[in-house]
Structure 1
Amino acid sequence: MSVEVDVLLQEAKESIEAAQNYRSELQQRLHGLNQARKQVRGSSGQAREALRRHFSELQTAATRLLTERLTTLLAEVDAIEAESVKPLDDCQSLIEHGVGQADELLREGEAALRCGLGEKEDKLGSFTKKAMHIQLDSLPEVPALVDVPCVSAQLDDSLLGLLRDRVSRHGSVSSHPPVQIEELQERPGGILVRWCKVDEDFAAADYRLQHRRSGSGGSQYEDSYIGRDCEFLVLHLDPHTDYLFRVCARGEGRTEWSPWSIPQTGYTTLAPHEWCPGTEGYILSSRRNIALRNDSSQSRCPVLYSNAPTYFCGQTLTFKISAAGPVDRRDSLGVCVDSEKGAESLQRDQAVCISTNGAVFVNGKEMTNQLPAITTGSAVTFDMEVVNLFPISNNNLSEGGNFKLRVTIGSGNREVVFDWLVDQAVDCLFFGCSFVHSGWKVLVF
């Protein structure tokens, strides 16, 4: 009987544990539903506010524009009226003056006729002279109605139709942004962000990526990238820190940007690539990711190594040349197993590199394949993957290696792929560079 009780107790405990797990899963799903509902209601409220604000601003602006146009047209009417009426007023003044003179002359003539014989001759003579002086046969010309302005307003009723058509198509509402972030990959000191269109009918001309530090103390969003690519490596990020990323798009022939995608949180656990400070002949930037070869007066060409073996297989290591100096065959950019002191080039054992003339070296031996020469703006990439984790054949051992890495070096639009034999299993590598002449400036990421 006790055995049956124990079995029942065990089954009861298992059922309780299963119920607890079930409840926990349901609570997580409830939390997810609440977040989804919050997003729907929150975004709907923001959309309503954006629509009301936008159309209120349009109404205010349209009223202002119409008022300004009306004022301009009324001013034109006033100017035409003033300019046209002035000569008419002048003509009226001249005629009224003539009427006044005629009235006065009539009064004098009638008075001369009524006066006595003794003064009639003088009065009539004075009247006759005055009449001749006034030139009673000269009349001012009054313009015909067809010769004076007849002001009118021409109003095109099609404006309202055009406005109605544009307003009916102005603005849109969508349930999802046309572009979303699909992947965040950590990189040393950065995050590779990839995005894609989710609205196939949206013809994107450009994309705009922004990021900011997450949390209550987070900064404002800042532009990371604007262009046609669907991925971008955001650098200069602090490790183990959450960042928010969002992306939007601009349609073909449009000036406005689409709504932002739903922000995604990403972070990197990988420390940024840095050059080692204190190497003779090189100056580093404040972040130590840019090196400038500044002194080539010495015959030696020291190798500038990374501060630590921060390159891991499976990653892409990139050298970006922002300034170039004279080319020398001993120049090198590449990766190595160790930071050998005193070396003057990476063209040595336990290293793979490319020279500025495009030659590729593996363990100090030059390959027959060659890449384009390196100059300002060039980007050289190194990609590696482990081929085997166990000692390989004696034939390979005789070649000096018992661990194989497959290396891909890219420069310009070309790349070379080869297997690199190293003496021991490695999971992280140093990178380095060496330039004989000054003027070379290289960014690593």
Structure 2
Amino acid sequence: MELETEALLQEARESIEAARTYRRELQQRLKGLQLARQQIKDSAALTRDVLEQHFNDLKGTLQKLLDERLVSLLQEVDTIELESIKPLDECQKLIEHGVSTADELLREGETAIHSIPGEENKKLCSFTKKALHIQLDSLPEVPSLVDVPCLSAQLDDSLLTIVKCNIFNHGTVASRPPVQIEELFEKPGGILVKWCKVDEDFVPQDYRLQYRKSAAGHFEDVYVGRETEFTVLHIDPHVDYQFRVCARGEGRQEWSPWSVIQIGRSTLVPHEWSPGFEGYSLSSRRNIALRNDSEVGGVLYSKAPTYYCGQTLTFRIETVGQPDKKDSMGVCVEQQNGCESLQRDKAVCVSTNGAVFVNGKEMTNQLPAVTSGTAVTFDMEAVNLGPSNNNEGGNFKLRVTISSNNREVVFDWVLDQCCGSLYFGCSFSYPGWKVLVF
């Protein structure tokens, strides 16, 4: 009986715990629903504000343009009127002068006809000569109405139809941005951001990625281009960063709406070069090394063994110097001070001329020579653990992939012991080489 009671109690406890878990999961989903609801409401309110502001700006601009055009046309009317009236004014002055002369002549003629007898011949003779001199048969020409301007306004009513059509089709409202952030991958001192388009009808020409360290800060552009992924560097570990992306459609100037903001963080220790090594100067974050002195040499190692299998290690050449066959960039099991290059045992590396070395031996396959901007990546994964059954005598094997300029070399690196993490390093014989690691 006691056993049965104990079993029932245990079953009840398990059911209670399951109910707690179930309630906790449902509450999490309620929070998710609330966030989704808030996103819809906030984005709708923002969209309303954007639309109202845009159309108010359009109305103001259109009113200004129409007013300016009206003033310009009225000025044209004024100019044509003034220029057309001017010759008519001159003609009017001439006619009025003729009328005045004729009036005066008429008065003189009347006086001559009704003059005192004995003086009429003299006055009539004077009047006749004056009349002949004035040329009473010469009249100024007055332009006909068809020969003078008749102003009018030509207004194309189709403009209203065109404007109406454009206004009716101006602007769209989308329920989702055309691109969204797909994944965020943590990197040592960085975050790899991948995005994709979610609107099948949208043809992207360029993408634009922004990030900010806190919600109170300003978003900064970190990438503009055609790629759909980018590694954002200089990321502080254990700090939340916000990311968003938008796109520009083919043949368009304006950018699309921003994607939904995604939050990412990196828990991985940033890759750093070891400070204080002669011949090299480091950036403030110690992820960039510059070879600045050819008098002293050797391998510059990482501060700690921070490279782990399954990660991607990248060396990006920022500036180049004179190449040398002993130059190297790669990884190693341990630091060996006094070596001039990583072309040695327990190390794999690439020279600046593209040669690949495994445990100090040059491989037949090689990569292109590096130039400014070249990125050389190392990817490794464990092939087998424990004692090896092959004739090489190794008991730990890593599958190594080294890539550069769309070329890659793949090989197995056999070590005599299991290695959880690796150092990285570089060596350059001549100054001028600058390399970023991430």
- TM-score interval (norm. to shorter): over 0.9
> Does structure 1 residue 221 correspond to structure 2 residue 214?
no
Summarize the alignment of residues 177-326 of structure 1 with structure 2, pairs less than 5 Å apart: 177-215=177-215, 218-296=216-294, 298=295, 300-326=296-322
Given the alignment, which residue of 420, 427, 434 partners 1:427? 420
- Does the aligned pair in 1 maintain the 2:374–2:404 contact within 8 Å? yes
- Distance in 2 (alpha carbons) for counterparts of 1:123 and 1:157: 71
User: What CA deviation, in whole Å up to 9, does each residue of 1:372-427 have, x standing for no partner?
Assistant: 11122222111111122223247322xxx432211111121211111112343222
- Does the aligned pair in 2 maintain the 1:191–1:267 contact within 8 Å? yes
Q: Corresponding residue for 1:43?
A: 43
> Does structure 1 residue 332 correspond to structure 2 residue 325?
no
- Does the aligned pair in 2 maintain the 1:208–1:249 contact within 8 Å? yes
User: What CA deviation, in whole Å up to 9, does each residue of 1:169-228 have, x standing for no partner?
Assistant: 22122222222111100011111111112221222222221111234xx31111122222
Worse-superposed segment, 409-418 or 35-44? 35-44
Summarize the alignment of residues 99-110 of structure 1 with structure 2, pairs less than 5 Å apart: 99-110=99-110
User: What CA deviation, in whole Å up to 9, does each residue of 1:336-387 have, x standing for no partner?
Assistant: 2223222211111111111111111111111111211112222211111112
The 3-state SS of whatever aligns with 1:436 is coil
The 3-state SS of whatever aligns with 1:287 is coil
- Distance in 2 (alpha carbons) for counterparts of 1:5 and 1:325: 81
The 3-state SS of whatever aligns with 1:387 is strand
User: What CA deviation, in whole Å up to 9, does each residue of 1:43-86 have, x standing for no partner?
Assistant: 22222222222222222222222222222222222212221121
- Does the aligned pair in 1 maintain the 2:278–2:297 contact within 8 Å? no
Summarize the alignment of residues 357-368 of structure 1 with structure 2, pairs less than 5 Å apart: 357-368=353-364
- Distance in 2 (alpha carbons) for counterparts of 1:130 and 1:288: 113
1:12 Cα shift? 4.5
- Distance in 2 (alpha carbons) for counterparts of 1:147 and 1:228: 66
The 3-state SS of whatever aligns with 1:117 is coil
Question: CA separation of 1:373/1:22 partners in 2, compared to 1, >3 Å: closer, same or farther?
Answer: closer
- Distance in 2 (alpha carbons) for counterparts of 1:119 and 1:305: 138
Question: CA separation of 1:4/1:425 partners in 2, compared to 1, >3 Å: closer, same or farther?
Answer: closer
> Does structure 1 residue 386 correspond to structure 2 residue 376?
no
- Distance in 2 (alpha carbons) for counterparts of 1:22 and 1:380: 49
Q: Corresponding residue for 2:111?
A: 111
The 3-state SS of whatever aligns with 1:256 is coil
The 3-state SS of whatever aligns with 2:205 is strand
User: What CA deviation, in whole Å up to 9, does each residue of 1:80-116 have, x standing for no partner?
Assistant: 2221121112211221122122212222222222222
- Distance in 1 (alpha carbons) for counterparts of 2:325 and 2:12: 78
Question: CA separation of 1:36/1:382 partners in 2, compared to 1, >3 Å: closer, same or farther?
Answer: same
> Does structure 1 residue 411 correspond to structure 2 residue 426?
no
The 3-state SS of whatever aligns with 2:63 is helix
- Does the aligned pair in 2 maintain the 1:179–1:197 contact within 8 Å? yes
TM-score, normalised to structure 2, is 0.93
1:3 Cα shift? 6.0
Question: CA separation of 1:124/1:341 partners in 2, compared to 1, >3 Å: closer, same or farther?
Answer: farther
Give the aligned residue type for 2:383.
Answer: V
Worse-superposed segment, 60-69 or 177-186? 60-69
Worse-superposed segment, 4-13 or 54-63? 4-13
Q: Corresponding residue for 1:369?
A: 365
> Does structure 1 residue 444 correspond to structure 2 residue 421?
no
- Distance in 1 (alpha carbons) for counterparts of 2:91 and 2:197: 76
Summarize the alignment of residues 36-115 of structure 1 with structure 2, pairs less than 5 Å apart: 36-115=36-115
Question: CA separation of 1:357/1:116 partners in 2, compared to 1, >3 Å: closer, same or farther?
Answer: same
- Does the aligned pair in 1 maintain the 2:273–2:301 contact within 8 Å? yes
TM-score, normalised to structure 1, is 0.91
Question: CA separation of 1:19/1:363 partners in 2, compared to 1, >3 Å: closer, same or farther?
Answer: closer
Question: CA separation of 1:115/1:73 partners in 2, compared to 1, >3 Å: closer, same or farther?
Answer: same
The 3-state SS of whatever aligns with 1:193 is strand
Question: CA separation of 1:439/1:132 partners in 2, compared to 1, >3 Å: closer, same or farther?
Answer: farther
- Does the aligned pair in 2 maintain the 1:301–1:345 contact within 8 Å? no
Give the aligned residue type for 1:59.
Answer: K
- Distance in 2 (alpha carbons) for counterparts of 1:355 and 1:2: 76
Give the aligned residue type for 2:257.
Answer: P
Question: CA separation of 1:438/1:24 partners in 2, compared to 1, >3 Å: closer, same or farther?
Answer: closer
Q: Corresponding residue for 2:139?
A: 139
- Distance in 1 (alpha carbons) for counterparts of 2:201 and 2:352: 46
1:126 Cα shift? 4.3
Q: CA RMSD in A?
A: 2.2
The 3-state SS of whatever aligns with 1:50 is helix
Question: CA separation of 1:365/1:42 partners in 2, compared to 1, >3 Å: closer, same or farther?
Answer: same
1:2 Cα shift? 6.1
- Distance in 2 (alpha carbons) for counterparts of 1:388 and 1:3: 49
Unaligned runs of 5+ in 1: none
Number of corresponding residues: 438
Question: CA separation of 1:7/1:166 partners in 2, compared to 1, >3 Å: closer, same or farther?
Answer: same
User: What CA deviation, in whole Å up to 9, does each residue of 1:27-51 have, x standing for no partner?
Assistant: 2222222222222222222222222
Question: CA separation of 1:15/1:358 partners in 2, compared to 1, >3 Å: closer, same or farther?
Answer: closer
- Distance in 1 (alpha carbons) for counterparts of 2:42 and 2:139: 84
